[in-house]
Amino acid sequence: MKKKYSAITTILLFFILLISFNNINTSAEQEISSKLNELSPLNFTDNLPYEGFLRIYIVEPDSRWNMYNGRPYHYGFIDFAYEGALSIDYLDSYQDSITWIGDVTEDNVFVIAVIFNPTANIGYSFPPSSKPFDAYYVDATASAHPGENGYNIRDENFTHTVFIEEGTGTWCKNCPSAADSLYNLSKSSTIPFYYAAMVEDMNSAAQKRLEEDYNIFGYPTLYYDGGKEVLLGGGNSDEYIESLIESCAESDVHELDLNLTVSWQGDGELKIDYKIINLEEIIPPQFYIQKIYGGIKKVNVFVENTGDNNSYNVDWEISITGGFLGRVNSISNGTIDEFPSGEAKLIRSKGQLFQPFGFGNIEVIVKIGTNIEKFNCFIFGPFIIVNI
């Protein structure tokens, strides 16, 4: 009898919680409706600075580490010479000089400078929709040996030089095929690209990059341009690997000039000089995310058109990912047919049969027009709670 009473009590408590949460959610939606007509456009400056992130990779063309088949890696990652944020106004430039010292020789060291865009996109290390990670796409890449000057290639065919991070390990039987393809293409392809072999069991910085930044699922995995394309597994043809490089090289990126000069100072010391020019104006987002509310299997967001003109056919997307074991994965999207200037509208995610449903911390990313914002939230069963 005691067990029966406990079960009934649990069920009653659950329904009380469900009704209470629904009332809270209804009140929140009423608050949204009441505020939609109270919002006023925000004032923005004419343009914004480029806020990117620079990583400078030190690699060895002929690596000190061998692959599973006994042959050496090419462009094996050794260390980050620099990692830091950038802020460059439109048509302005930034330059700096750094010194790196390590166990390398003048004839077997290569420096690759890569600028990552600040916008977080959703990438998947187990395509098409598992093992999500924050993908920050590459805007520019330049490289140089000691005594050389390198630059980001931008011409009538390609928007930038592509960068690939090769997730690999010396124990991996299937990794040599991907490594060989990259090396062959580096010598034969006319598409500008560079790559670094991130050997996870030989370099702690490589392991951290793969596991923490890319949430890697298996080996080998090729991360093109910070996760714009992800290729899992070996045995892919050179032609297919090159086709993904070409797709990235032709994609729209922020226009940057990046120049890199490397000087050998002796005893493993490198002097690295770089200069970056911001060639593309950043217009503030026209659509501003005013407020976000949780709900039962949904997220409610109201947004405002802060631009001077009416907009039409405005695309939006709400993605919900995370939870225990990464089981929460829901994407909703739609189009606002007409969005008058100065007005606000409500958009909301759409729950599916078993999504979103789970437990733990989740990430909600809202995209409206060119504006993208990220929110840390919590899910308990079907209940989504926004942590703001």
How do beta strands 311-322 and 328-339 pair?
antiparallel
Given the candidates 3.40.50.20, 1.10.760.10, 3.40.30.10, 3.40.1440.10, the CATH classification of the domain at 53-278 is 3.40.30.10
Mean pLDDT of 5-31: 49
pLDDT digits (tens, 9 = 90+) for 93-131: 999 999 999 999 999 999 999 999 998 898 999 999 899
265, 102 Cβ separation under 8 angstroms:
no
Pairing relationship of beta strands 193-199 and 162-168 according to DSSP bridges: parallel
Domain ranges of the chain: 28-44+286-386, 53-278
Residue 375: in which H helix or E strand, if any? Answer: strand 371-381
Buried b (16+ CB within 10 A) or exposed e, 19-52: eebeeebeebbeebeeeeeebebeeeeeeeebeb
d(CA 133, CA 221): 14
What are the two backbone dihedrals, phi and then psi, of residue 110, each rounded to the nearest 5 degrees? Answer: -145, 140
Residue 138 · residue 169 · CB < 8 Å: no
Rounded to whole angstroms, how far apart are CA atoms 225 and 216?
15
CB atoms within 10 A of CB 388: 10
Span 281-297, average pLDDT = 85
The arithmetic mean of pLDDT across residues 21-25, rounded, is 45
Whole-model pTM above 0.85?
no
pLDDT tens-digit map of 134-170: 999 999 999 999 999 999 999 999 999 999 999 999 9
What does the mean pLDDT of the chain come to? 88
CA-CA distance, 387 to 152, in Å (whole number)? 41
Render pLDDT for 66-102 as a digit per residue (tens, 0 to 9). Answer: 999 999 999 999 999 999 999 999 999 999 999 999 9
Instruction: Write the burial class of residue 372 (CB in 10 Å: 0-12 exposed, 13-18 middle, 19+ buried).
Output: middle
Collapsed DSSP state (helix, strand, coil) of residue 41: coil
CATH topology agreement for domains 28-44+286-386 and 53-278? no
The CATH homologous superfamily for domain 28-44+286-386 is Immunoglobulins (2.60.40.10)
Supply the Cα-derived Rg of the chain in whole angstroms: 25
Q: What is the pLDDT of residue 18?
A: 47
Going through 180-327 in order, the beta strands assigned E by DSSP cover: 193-199, 221-224, 229-232, 256-266, 269-278, 287-293, 295-296, 300-305, 311-322
Measure Cα distances from 334 to 29, 84, 314, 315, 369 in Å. 19, 36, 8, 6, 11
